[in-house]
Structures are given as C-alpha cells and as structure tokens.
Amino acid sequence: MAQRPDPLRVGFIGLGDQGLPMATAIAEAGFDLHVWARRTSSLDGLAGVPHTAHVAVAELAGAVDIVALCVSTDDDVLHLTVEELLPSLRTGAVLVNHGTGTPANARRLAEACATRGVEVLDAPVSGGRPAAEARTLTTLVGGPEMVLTRCEPVFRSFARHVVYLGAAGSGQMAKLFNNALLMLNQAAIADILALAADAALDVPRLVEALKLGSAASTALGLMNTMVNPDTVDHLSKVEALDMELFAEAMRNAGVNATEATDRGLSGARRLPEVIARLNP
C-alpha cells in the first residue's frame, strides 16, 4: 500500500476577526497548523483546534512549508517578512499575503523573497468574517501559477472560490477593484435612501422590499447584517482606507480614477448615514 504523504505544514500569523476562522479551517482540513501571535490571548480562539504555537516568528518560519499572513498593513507585512520570517524560511517555502494591500507592495515582497529562494503569492480574500466562518471566502491570487497549484488545497479549506488573476500584484489589484465597486454601490444606496426619506417612504421597509427585487445586491444585503449599528463606524473607516489604497494603485498604474475614487469615498463615509436611516 502506498504511503500517504505528510500533510503540508502551514504557518499562520494574524488571528484576528477574519484570520482566526481561516486558521481554524486550515487545521480542521487536516493540515499541520503552526501559529504565532503577538498577544498570547489571540491563541484562545484555537482551543480544541489541532495546532502548534510558537514563541517566536523565526521558530515558526523554520518549521513550515507555507506561511500565511493576515495582518493589517503593507508595512506590517514587509516588516514581518524581511526582518523576521525570511532569515529562517527554507528555500522553496511559500509566503502568502491574505491581507489587502497595493500591487506595488506585492511585487516588492516577491522581489525581496526571491533573493532567498522563497516563493510569494498575493492572495487577498473577500467576504469578511461571515464568509470566513462559513468557509465560503473568495481568494484572489497573483503570483506564479505553479505556486498556486501547491497552495490551492490550503485555500480551498476556507474558500469557495479561488481565482487566479496573473503575475505578482494581480490579486491585490483585483481585490482593490472589488472593494471600490462595493463602495460605489454603497454610494448609490445612500443616494436612493436619502430620496426615499424625502419622499416620506418607510425606508427600512423599502430596503427589505428592494432586497427581494431586481435592485438586490451584495452591498444592499450587507446593510443591517454585517454592517450594523455596532460595526458601521469601524467598517466606514476601514473602507475609506481601502479606497485610498485603490487611489494609490491607480496613480501607480497611470490611471486617472479621481471620479471613481471620490464616489467610492462617499460610499464609505456615508455608511453611518445609511444605517441610521435603517434604524430610526
């Protein structure tokens, strides 16, 4: 009988709102999960989930075949990679960035890792915590396609869709367009609900009706579900930052996206207005 290969050893850093359910899915799919967290309390959510916790980033790096990052900013990703992971990652290891950033940083990361024989994928995810918990995220991938082939079984543990976009930076560019379109849709929702209020319609009831008809959209479906009075202020700020990343990526690409960027920022900043109308 042929011997089954050992499971891939997967490192995961960034056990936050979205990262924790992703890491849980990886372990429960049978991969050998290794984790590190700046605050040990972040590991509490993995209680009962098979994993190995490391006290240092370098220790984790030396133990895995793939290391996934789900942290906030490009600066965090670069620091973790160049200063702490790269010196200990093995030749042939793969670094995956699941966070949202700029295409330029994805290319910079790939260039830095190439000097040590480490492969890189930019693989931001879309769907938020609800999709992460349901294991129905969409993963948008840039980088060498052969490397994606190695990593795709891991991605499939938490993603319903894994879409290959092209060379390094392509996954990040696709994610920024995804976010921009969501915010443009939110701006349209804010406009429509303001008009409905002026016309003395019952806005919450109208929205429930719109969700059932041809006006339905993911953006509309998020209102009063994932985007609610408890989360709206935080999400509004995060979206505004994402729109600034989109604007930077467009400038770097030599594209004039001022009109779309301004409209998208309006959609992000008016989220509290929309939720207030739905919760009079």
Q: Quick check: do 9-167 and 174-278 share a fold?
A: no
Is the full-model pTM beyond 0.75? Answer: yes
Domain residue spans of the chain: 9-167, 174-278
Band (2; pLDDT cuts 50, 70, 90): very low
How far are the Cα atoms of 69, 96, 127, 217, 257 from residue 10, in angstroms, in the given order?
11, 10, 22, 35, 38
Of 19, 10, 22, 49, the closest CA to residue 37 belongs to 19
The distance in angstroms from the start CA to the end CA of the chain is: 67
Q: What angle do CA 130, 152, 50 make, to 5 degrees?
A: 65
What topology does CATH give the domain 174-278? Answer: N-(1-d-carboxylethyl)-l-norvaline Dehydrogenase; domain 2 (1.10.1040)
Average pLDDT, stretch 124-152? Answer: 96
d(CA 118, CA 95): 7
Which residue shows structure tokens 């899915």? Answer: 25
Which residues, including other chains, have CB under 8 Å from residue 131's CB and lie 6 or more apart?
A: 125, 137, 138
CATH topology of domain 9-167: Rossmann fold (3.40.50)
Q: What pLDDT is attached to residue 72?
A: 87
Q: CA-CA distances (angstroms) from residue 51 to 10, 46, 48, 145, 160?
A: 10, 8, 9, 28, 23
Q: What is the pLDDT of residue 71?
A: 94
pLDDT at 6: 73
**49 is written with which tokens?**
């989930």
* Closest listed residue to residue 120, CA positions, set 175, 54, 168, 83: 168
From the centroid of its chain, how far is CA 252?
21
Q: How do residues 216-232 score in pLDDT, each as one tens digit?
A: 999 999 999 999 999 99
**Is pLDDT of 176 > 50?**
yes
Q: What is the mean pLDDT of residues 9-19?
A: 96
The 10s digit of each residue's pLDDT in 239-269 is 999 999 999 999 999 999 999 999 999 999 9
- Output the CA–CA distances (angstroms, integers) from residue 193 to 22, 198, 201, 224, 273, in the order listed: 35, 9, 9, 14, 9
Rounded Cα distance between 20 and 240, Å, is 24
User: pLDDT digit string (tens) for 40-97?
Assistant: 899 999 999 999 999 999 999 999 999 999 998 999 999 999 999 999 999 999 999 9
pLDDT at 1: 47
